[in-house]
């Protein structure tokens, strides 16, 4: 798991989780006012199946709520993480 903080790349509308060996995982979104639509998550192929995706999505959820955004999960994986979590299921629209 990454000990690094997630970065909000406002210009490119994505959250970036820096990983080992200069790799990164991302959550991309579209924006309508303060409503984010979380449309895509991506983890480097070599790191899939190791919990990086879940960490990425949960850190993105925390960051966007800290920043005052509301969000709707469009991506199936992001929706699944939100629905499985009592905390995020109450906050992220699915």
pLDDT level of residue 2 (50, 70, 90 thresholds): low
Backbone angles phi, psi at 81, to 5 degrees: -60, -45
CA distance 81 to 9: 22
Does position 39 have pLDDT exceeding 70, yes or no?
yes
Whole-number Å distance between alpha carbons of 66 and 84: 21
pLDDT above 60 for 59: yes
Is 7-91 CATH 3.40.630.30?
yes
- Name the more confident of 34 and 68: 68
Residue 72 has what pLDDT? Answer: 97
Compute CA distances 38 → 3, 28, 42, 46, 79, whole Å: 23, 6, 12, 23, 9
Q: Structural domain boundaries of the chain?
A: 7-91
């Amino acid at each position: 798991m990454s000990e690094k903080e997630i970065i909000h790349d406002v210009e490119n509308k994505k959250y970036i989780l820096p990983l080992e060996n200069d790799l990164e995982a991302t959550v991309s979104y579209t924006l309508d006012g303060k409503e984010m639509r979380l449309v895509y998550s991506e983890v480097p192929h070599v790191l899939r199946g190791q919990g990086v995706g879940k960490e990425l999505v949960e850190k993105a959820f925390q960051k966007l709520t800290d920043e005052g955004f509301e969000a709707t999960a469009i991506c199936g994986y992001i929706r699944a993480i939100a629905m499985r979590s009592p905390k995020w299921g109450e906050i992220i629209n699915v």
